[in-house]
């Protein structure tokens, strides 16, 4: 019997043939942490170990509350910078660089066939490059600093095959919301999810990233896809070390195989207050909005800027709407500026914010008022997620967000 990607990679890293359900202890290639490095360093210092097992294993990116909203967040940044200097951590990215997952990708640290953990739930993102990427907690990140090791339960795998071509006005965000609505927030709990099929193979890197990024919203341990040609070309000259693509065997045992045909897919909206409360846009069209949040590790890449700028060009954002724009990285911001997207978006009346997570977990930079409605391109709409439990958050694609910003209500891009 062949092995799935998850079984194969955990076998390789543990040095024995493993089966689902087994507990293994392995050494990950990369362990990422962000502003929570301050808390993690505090735990590390309790462990009674002087030095990191391998400082080069750790990637630290300040992005969760940047620039700091108050003196407490500022102190976390200061503690992190001091820790980085003390332990000689070379993969450190300060607040101007961008969102952790995007920065890791741009710097050639996200590699096929590697194990990448992060003290951030959206570390499933790395599966877009064929890595075993998963979110972990703080104590275990501190333990990796001390010992290099972490335990995992070998997951069963659900394969999701996507067929068909995206209709006009529909993209990967609509697809992952559709999947979340169908299989629900615990539909892949503890499981590895493998996205496959011709549609996945033909998607751009930025569109592909959206799927594993939001695999955690299905409960998944990892979201994985075989790196396509565009991905391998992107890594050529960028990868910081050699890598080997790992794929599921043709006769691997999948717990479940699901198929979706996207030929008739319509834009999807996740309604308050769960990511799996998904409706076709036709059912919520016309819902009045107060704020558009265009940003996050899900949807704030160059291709998203291109889409949003094309819609906003020559238009004005509705007088009753504020649109906040957070590029996913400094590089994306610079490129979007060079291509004129930033100019176009700002002329339309949007507010160009700094790169970083923005209001995604409600720390600052765009917290809504009581009774307000936000249309957001991020990945979570839990009650209170953007910092106010008396507000409603709807999730959509960047395309829908741009059309809606102009009209002042949730707008179907296919009619405009």
Q: Minimal distance in Å, beta carbon 174 to other proteins?
A: 22
What the block records as the tokens of 102 is: 């995007």
Alpha carbons 135 and 137: distance in angstroms, whole number: 7
Site string (310-339) toward other proteins, x via CB under 8 A: ------------------------------
Encode burial over 125-135: b for 16+ CB neighbours within 10 A, e otherwise.
bbbbbbbbbbb
Sign of CA dihedral 208, 229, 102, 339: negative
Distance of CA 122 to the CA centre of its chain: 5
- Beta carbon nearer to other proteins, 87 or 138: 138
176-215: which residues touch other proteins (CB under 8 A)?
185-186, 189-190
- Beta carbon nearer to other proteins, 35 or 285: 35
Q: Does 383 bind other proteins (CB under 8 A)?
A: yes
- Beta carbon nearer to other proteins, 112 or 118: 118
For the chain, the C-alpha Rg in angstroms (whole number) is 21
113-152: which residues touch other proteins (CB under 8 A)?
118-121, 123, 135-140, 142-143, 146-147, 151
Is the Cβ–Cβ distance between 331 and 103 less than 8 Å?
A: no
The DSSP secondary structure of 376-401, one letter per residue, reads ESSS--BTTTTS-TTSEEEE--HHHH
Is the Cβ–Cβ distance between 302 and 336 less than 8 Å?
A: yes
Binder among 19, 23, 310, 369 for other proteins (CB under 8 A): 23
- Beta carbon nearer to other proteins, 72 or 78: 72
Q: Minimal distance in Å, beta carbon 387 to other proteins?
A: 6
Q: Minimal distance in Å, beta carbon 76 to other proteins?
A: 8
User: How many residues of this chain bind other proteins (CB under 8 A)?
Assistant: 46
Q: Minimal distance in Å, beta carbon 345 to other proteins?
A: 27
Alpha carbons 216 and 290: distance in angstroms, whole number: 28
Alpha carbons 17 and 412: distance in angstroms, whole number: 50
Q: Minimal distance in Å, beta carbon 88 to other proteins?
A: 22
**Degrees to nearest 5, angle at CA 348 with 342 and 351:** 60
Element (H, E) at 229: helix 229-235
Site string (238-277) toward other proteins, x via CB under 8 A: ------------------------------------x-x-
Is the Cβ–Cβ distance between 8 and 224 less than 8 Å?
A: no
Angle between the N-to-C axes of helices 37-46 and 138-147, in degrees from 0 to 180, rounded to the nearest 10: 60
Q: Minimal distance in Å, beta carbon 212 to other proteins?
A: 15
Q: Minimal distance in Å, beta carbon 132 to other proteins?
A: 14
Binder among 245, 349, 361, 408 for other proteins (CB under 8 A): 361
What the block records as the tokens of 142 is: 């501190």
Q: Minimal distance in Å, beta carbon 358 to other proteins?
A: 12
The DSSP secondary structure of 71-100, one letter per residue, reads HHHHHHHHHHHHHHHHHT-SEEE-TTSB-H
What the block records as the tokens of 320 is: 């009753």
Nearest to 293 by CA among 222, 167, 380: 380
- Beta carbon nearer to other proteins, 193 or 400: 193
Q: Minimal distance in Å, beta carbon 195 to other proteins?
A: 19
Site string (47-76) toward other proteins, x via CB under 8 A: xxx----------------------xx--x
72-111: which residues touch other proteins (CB under 8 A)?
72-73, 76
Query: What is each CA distance from 239 to 144, 231, 368, in whole angstroms?
Result: 23, 11, 40
27-46: which residues touch other proteins (CB under 8 A)?
36, 39, 42-43, 46
Binder among 88, 340, 371, 384 for other proteins (CB under 8 A): 384
389-408: which residues touch other proteins (CB under 8 A)?
389
Count of CB atoms within 10 A of residue 340's CB?
12
Q: Return residues touching other proteins (CB under 8 A).
A: 23, 36, 39, 42-43, 46-49, 72-73, 76, 118-121, 123, 135-140, 142-143, 146-147, 151, 185-186, 189-190, 219, 221, 274, 276, 361-363, 380, 382-385, 387, 389
């Amino acid at each position: 019997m062949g092995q799935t990607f998850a079984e194969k990679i955990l076998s390789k890293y543990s040095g024995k043939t493993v089966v689902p359900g087994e507990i293994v202890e392995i050494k990950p290639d990369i362990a990422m942490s962000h502003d929570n490095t301050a808390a993690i360093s505090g735990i590390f210092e309790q462990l009674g170990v002087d030095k990191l097992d391998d400082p080069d294993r750790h990637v630290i990116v300040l992005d969760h509350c940047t620039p700091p909203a108050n003196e407490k967040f500022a102190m976390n940044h200061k503690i992190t910078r001091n820790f980085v200097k003390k332990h000689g951590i070379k993969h450190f990215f300060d607040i101007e660089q961008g969102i952790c997952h995007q920065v890791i990708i741009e710097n050639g640290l996200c590699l096929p066939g590697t194990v990448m953990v992060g003290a951030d739930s959206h570390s499933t993102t790395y599966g877009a490059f064929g890595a075993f990427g998963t979110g972990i907690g703080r104590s275990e990140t501190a333990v990796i600093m001390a010992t290099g090791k972490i335990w995992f339960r070998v997951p069963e795998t659900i394969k999701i095959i996507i067929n068909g071509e995206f209709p006009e006005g529909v993209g990967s965000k609509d697809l992952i919301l559709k999947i979340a609505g169908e299989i629900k927030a615990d539909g892949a709990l503890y499981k590895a999810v493998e996205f496959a099929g011709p549609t996945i193979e033909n998607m751009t890197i930025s569109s592909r990233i959206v799927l594993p990024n939001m695999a955690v919203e299905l409960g998944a341990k990892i979201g994985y896809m075989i790196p396509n040609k565009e991905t391998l070309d992107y890594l050529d000259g960028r990868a910081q070390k050699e890598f080997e693509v790992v794929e599921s065997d043709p006769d691997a045992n999948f717990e479940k195989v699901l198929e979706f045909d996207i030929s008739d897919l319509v834009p999807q909206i996740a309604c308050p207050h769960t990511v799996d409360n998904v409706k076709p846009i036709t059912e919520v069209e016309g819902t009045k909005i107060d704020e558009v949040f265009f940003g996050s590790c899900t949807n704030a890449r160059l291709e998203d800027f291109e889409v949003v700028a094309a819609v906003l060009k020559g238009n004005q954002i509705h007088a009753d709407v504020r649109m906040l724009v957070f590029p996913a990285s400094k590089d994306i911001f610079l490129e979007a500026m060079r291509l004129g997207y930033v100019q176009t978006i700002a002329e339309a009346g949007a507010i160009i914010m700094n790169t970083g997570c923005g209001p995604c977990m409600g720390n600052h930079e765009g917290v809504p008022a009581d009774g307000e409605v936000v249309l957001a391109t991020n990945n979570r709409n839990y009650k209170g997620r953007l910092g106010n439990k008396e507000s409603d958050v709807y999730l959509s694609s960047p395309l829908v967000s741009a059309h809606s910003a102009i009209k002042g209500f949730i707008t179907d891009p296919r009619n405009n």
